[in-house]
A and B are shown apart, each in its own frame.
Chain A
Amino acid sequence: MGIDLRRIYGSIRNLAIIVIVWEILGRLQLVASGALPPPSAVVLRLIKDWGDYPGHIGATIFGAGVGFIIGNAVAIAAGVLFALYPLTSRVARGLNIAIFALPAIAISPILVLTLSDPVPRIVLAAIGCYFVTMTATVVGLTQVDARSVDVVRAYGGGKWKALWLVQWRSALPVILSGLRVAAPNAVLGSILAEFGGGGRWGLGVYLLGSLGRAEPDRLWGIGLVATLIAAAAYAVFALIANSITGSSQSVTVPTSLLRSDEEGRVRPLWQRGALIASSIALPFALWWVLLLALRVPAMIAKTPAGLLDYLVLLPSAPIAQGKLVAALAQTLPMTFIGMAAGLALAFALALCSQLWPAVVRAFMPVALVTQTMPLVALTPLLVLMLGRGTAVILAITISVTFFPAFVTMAQGLLMVPRAALEVPKAYGASLFTQLRLVSIPSSLPYLFAATRLTAPRALLGVMIAEWLATGTGLGNLLNQSRGYLDYGMIWSVAFVSVVLSVLFYQVVVVVERRVLGRFGMASAQ
């Protein structure tokens, strides 16, 4: 894979066009009555403020870095375990989905209460990494060419031998693409915890101090620095992945993927029941044990029993239920619309990345900004442009959902075996026809994986928008309960949002099994 200078020039040119258009929009105060500062003002402000930055950057990198290492180490270890012993994956399934779906805005205050700075930052950064990398590890280890594993097996090699000689190699690019997504997540997790955590240092703390000063150029500067840190981490893993992907792909088309013993086996009903029950029980058990271990007083920390009291048994329960139901009626419809819109954009973008790679590469920095620019700083701008209604909820929801979905889908399109593409190519098919006949159908598992990633994030996006902009639904209920010290409601909202996210996830899984089963494909775990 040689370096194509023309492509690099093309990307730089497109990026330059974006910056120039932004500068003109900012200078002429065309966006949101001038609330969007031109890039030159942001940079000048950044230079002026530079004396403030080193301490904050150091604290954020520390939190994000330690969280990134811990979160990914646990994720890769768990991924290997789940791939080798699929039974464990079924037991841990509920736990994995619950960790994935934990709404950061709900657990941040609880982490801040029970742990001391900087542990909340590390935990939130690690949680941001875990699911993405764990999923990537499992996908990478299982989507392997079965013939290579057969060779190892035929020569008497066991599971671990196959893992070491074959699966590990084919998994590496996928894991690296997971780390690529995990890196901005870690930075964002750390900043989010800093934002509420009450420490002295970190970009989140800095943002908070600057928020009340009506200086959008400073806020954008902080966002820019956060983005650069995330982009640097992203770039490192993208470079490593690029240099490895080329050498580890099969030359010919595999006729079948590796199927584990577990998938083929039909277990008796009681065993399946036990697996499902333990998968559901595990997150609850862990929730209970963690609270006991941390010795958080019962008034603040609700155990499953405490939550049952609050929502069902206490005399005040009907009031609490009423508040929750009213909030859900506002939040749920927006979640579905936001999810559909985020997926549609990601899919369109992933296709574009095949058709017009340079355009998408130029767009990537902008996309990254939306991932690392703290939404709190962007909200006034979005509110000025879009008002405080449906549009702003959709914009925020799309911005938190499309990026991971896009990366997953683009990865799926890249992983299409070259030999399969050669067939339509040989018959003179256009790039578009190649996509339609080969790339899209064969990357279906990734499309579903992206949908599963998106479902809980859509709920989170809607809640953030409700909290910061519209003052409706679950997001507002959560924030208001925090102010009223209504700990039962804080836990209820967190619990309900996790349960909903798990539910969305399960629905996608059922549809996925039906569809992929018909195509004879394995799902991308």
Chain B
Amino acid sequence: MSLNMQRRHFLSLMGAAATLPLTSRLAYAATPLTFQASWINDAEFAGYFAAMDKGYYTEQGLDLTYLSGGPDVIPESALIAGKADVTLTTPDTTIKAIVEQGAPFKIIGAQYQKNPIGIVSLASNPIKTPQDLVGKTLAVPPVNVISVEAMLKISGVDRASVNIVPYAYDPTPLIKGEIDASLDFTTNVPFSIKQAGPDATSFLLYDFGFTTFNDTVVVTTDVLASKRRELVAFLRASRQGWDDNLADPAALPPTFAETWFKGTGRSIENEVYFNTAQKPLIEASGGIFSMSEDSIAANIEALAAVGINATREMFDTTLLEEI
């Protein structure tokens, strides 16, 4: 152990010695920034993959580390634990954590202007409005139950009239008719259902009063203070990547087939479908990641319906202005 420590110490001294003559160059060297994604590699993150492949982060002087997500990866936790500087979250959980636990988070941008989560059902047993859910079985990931409850409340549907069961991101029970509907990304799962045979129909929670962003770009107040320049650079390079990617949603996903998407078990056609479907939800008149005053107000109002008291101060739009 102590030998190991000595060796490591020795090596770091060697490293320091080696870089000494090059100190002047260090000023121009890329500064590290770690980005925690909120899910496994799919089209949801195509803009960042594009920006990495095209070297936009490097051009901005960033050495970006990309961490894939997964169901146990709670993005906000990665910030608190210091494993990542910036992450993507669902705004309801982030704001709940700020209000209830005093978590030091700031929202500095929003990838989805309209939250892509929605109610997905089969065309043969369609559920087109929240009212259609009465007496039906709806599968919801436990994380999203509050979002659904908000939408039901806003739409005047009694929560007790809907049978909500857990959803584990597998559409099989829906296809087989064991459940009537599920809550999922409407940009993604209808493709899988169609592949298995039946046609799917869906509506966004956003269109029935739950007017929130999704994949909000979140940092801690500490990182916001100490890495402001890097965060602006991150937003700028990511916006470039997203602009490239959305210019033709079918163009870039195939180029990630052997890199970012390799071995995920999903097909490129699926990613192209996803990328095409998410384009209108991401694009914003003020540029990608925009948070207009109107949309912030809409978020605050929607969250108030479920008793989450968001305030304007939780959203910091000044970095977007610097892009």
Question: 1/0 contact trace for A149-189 toward B, CB 8 Å?
Answer: 00000000000000000000000000000000000000000
Which residues from A are CB-within-8-Å of B145?
Answer: 480, 483
B192–A114 CB distance below 8 A: no
Report Cα–Cα, A467/B82, bound state, in Å. Answer: 29
- B117 to nearest A CB, angstroms? 13
Interface size range of chain A in the complex:
35 or more
A383–B72 CB distance below 8 A: no
B81–A388 CB distance below 8 A: no
Which of A68-76, A214-222, A252-260, A498-506 has 4 or more CB atoms under 8 Å from chain B?
Answer: A214-222
Which residues from A are CB-within-8-Å of B193?
Answer: 214
A195–B171 CB distance below 8 A: no
Q: Does B292 contact A (CB under 8 A)?
A: no
Report Cα–Cα, A470/B173, bound state, in Å. Answer: 13
B142–A296 CB distance below 8 A: no
Report Cα–Cα, A209/B264, bound state, in Å. Answer: 5
A483–B144 CB distance below 8 A: yes
The B188-239 residues at the A interface (CB cut-off 8 A) are 188-189, 192-193, 195-196
A476–B72 CB distance below 8 A: no
Output the nearest chain B residue to A295 by Cβ-Cβ distance.
B82
Which residues from B are CB-within-8-Å of A296?
Answer: 81
Q: Does B80 contact A (CB under 8 A)?
A: yes
Interface hub of B68, B76, B176, B189 (most chain A Cβ within 10 A): B176
Which residues from B are CB-within-8-Å of A209?
Answer: 40, 42, 263-266
Known: A218-B265, A297-B82. Is A483-B176 also a contact (CB below 8 A)?
no
Question: 1/0 contact trace for B85-105 toward A, CB 8 Å?
Answer: 000000001001100010100
A109–B72 CB distance below 8 A: yes
The A430-489 residues at the B interface (CB cut-off 8 A) are 467-471, 476, 479-480, 482-485, 487
Interface hub of A196, A215, A376, A383 (most chain B Cβ within 10 A): A383
Report Cα–Cα, A108/B71, bound state, in Å. Answer: 11
A215–B196 CB distance below 8 A: yes
A195–B166 CB distance below 8 A: no
Report Cα–Cα, A435/B143, bound state, in Å. Answer: 52
Report Cα–Cα, A379/B69, bound state, in Å. Answer: 22
Pick the residue among B146, B165, B171, B196 that contacts A388 (CB under 8 A).
B165
Pick the residue among A196, A299, A379, A384 that contacts B73 (CB under 8 A).
A196
Q: Does A62 contact B (CB under 8 A)?
A: no
Report Cα–Cα, A34/B177, bound state, in Å. Answer: 12
Which residues from B are CB-within-8-Å of A330?
Answer: none
Q: Does A213 contact B (CB under 8 A)?
A: yes
Which residues from B are CB-within-8-Å of A508?
Answer: none
Q: Does B11 contact A (CB under 8 A)?
A: no
- B13 to nearest A CB, angstroms? 24
Report Cα–Cα, A388/B69, bound state, in Å. Answer: 29
Q: Does B10 contact A (CB under 8 A)?
A: no
Q: Does A380 contact B (CB under 8 A)?
A: yes
B77–A113 CB distance below 8 A: yes
A33–B68 CB distance below 8 A: no
Output the nearest chain B residue to A194 by Cβ-Cβ distance.
B70
Which of A128-136, A197-205, A276-284, A511-519 has 4 or more CB atoms under 8 Å from chain B?
Answer: A197-205
A212–B73 CB distance below 8 A: no
Report Cα–Cα, A199/B171, bound state, in Å. Answer: 23
Q: Does A244 contact B (CB under 8 A)?
A: no
Q: Does A300 contact B (CB under 8 A)?
A: yes
Output the nearest chain A residue to B72 by Cβ-Cβ distance.
A196
B178–A471 CB distance below 8 A: no
Q: Does B172 contact A (CB under 8 A)?
A: yes
B76–A485 CB distance below 8 A: yes
B93–A297 CB distance below 8 A: no
Pick the residue among B41, B68, B165, B192 that contacts A214 (CB under 8 A).
B192
B80–A213 CB distance below 8 A: no
Question: 1/0 contact trace for A234-265 toward B, CB 8 Å?
Answer: 00000000000000000000000000000000
Pick the residue among A198, A213, A384, A480 that contacts B68 (CB under 8 A).
A198
Q: Does A210 contact B (CB under 8 A)?
A: yes
Which residues from B are CB-within-8-Å of A197?
Answer: 70, 72-73
Interface hub of B40, B78, B164, B189 (most chain A Cβ within 10 A): B40
Question: 1/0 contact trace for B32-51 toward A, CB 8 Å?
Answer: 00000000111000000000
Which residues from A are CB-within-8-Å of B70?
Answer: 195-199, 205, 208
Report Cα–Cα, A379/B178, bound state, in Å. Answer: 12
The A92-123 residues at the B interface (CB cut-off 8 A) are 108-109, 112-114, 116
Report Cα–Cα, A245/B266, bound state, in Å. Answer: 48
Known: A113-B81, A213-B266. Is A299-B101 also a contact (CB below 8 A)?
yes
Report Cα–Cα, A48/B145, bound state, in Å. Answer: 37
Known: A56-B263, A206-B265, A482-B74. Is A211-B142 also a contact (CB below 8 A)?
no
Report Cα–Cα, A56/B175, bound state, in Å. Answer: 28
Q: Does A318 contact B (CB under 8 A)?
A: no
Report Cα–Cα, A468/B67, bound state, in Å. Answer: 26
- A199 to nearest B CB, angstroms? 7
- A344 to nearest B CB, angstroms? 28
Question: 1/0 contact trace for B119-148 toward A, CB 8 Å?
Answer: 000000000000000000000011111100
Q: Does B16 contact A (CB under 8 A)?
A: no
Which residues from A are CB-within-8-Å of B177?
Answer: 33
Q: Does A4 contact B (CB under 8 A)?
A: no
Which residues from B are CB-within-8-Å of A109?
Answer: 72-74, 77
Output the nearest chain A residue to B67 by Cβ-Cβ distance.
A198
Which residues from B are CB-within-8-Å of A468?
Answer: 166, 168
Which residues from B are CB-within-8-Å of A35?
Answer: 172, 176
Which residues from B are CB-within-8-Å of A376?
Answer: 168, 170
Interface hub of B80, B144, B184, B192 (most chain A Cβ within 10 A): B80
Report Cα–Cα, A200/B73, bound state, in Å. Answer: 13
Known: A195-B72, A208-B71. Is A113-B189 also a contact (CB below 8 A)?
no
Q: Does A275 contact B (CB under 8 A)?
A: no
B166–A214 CB distance below 8 A: no
Report Cα–Cα, A49/B263, bound state, in Å. Answer: 10
Output the nearest chain A residue to B140 by Cβ-Cβ distance.
A471
Q: Does A55 contact B (CB under 8 A)?
A: yes
Output the nearest chain B residue to A377 by Cβ-Cβ distance.
B170
Report Cα–Cα, A451/B112, bound state, in Å. Answer: 52
- B201 to nearest A CB, angstroms? 16
A485–B101 CB distance below 8 A: yes
Output the nearest chain A residue to B98 by Cβ-Cβ distance.
A485
B175–A214 CB distance below 8 A: yes
Pick the residue among B83, B164, B171, B263 that contacts A206 (CB under 8 A).
B263
Question: 1/0 contact trace for A295-335 toward B, CB 8 Å?
Answer: 01101100000000000000000000000000000000000
Which residues from B are CB-within-8-Å of A471?
Answer: 142, 164-166
Q: Does B115 contact A (CB under 8 A)?
A: no
Which residues from A are CB-within-8-Å of B97?
Answer: 484-485
Output the nearest chain A residue to B141 by Cβ-Cβ distance.
A483
Which residues from A are CB-within-8-Å of B275?
Answer: none
Q: Does B270 contact A (CB under 8 A)?
A: yes
Q: Could you give 7 example pairs across A and B, Cβ below 8 Å? A: A35-B172, A195-B70, A214-B172, A297-B82, A299-B101, A483-B142, A483-B144
Top 8 nearest A-B pairs (CB, nearest first) are A196-B72, A483-B143, A209-B265, A210-B265, A209-B264, A198-B70, A471-B166, A380-B172
Supply 11 further A-B pairs (C-beta < 8 A) apart from A114-B81, A484-B146: A49-B265, A52-B263, A109-B72, A210-B266, A213-B195, A379-B170, A471-B166, A479-B142, A482-B142, A483-B74, A483-B143
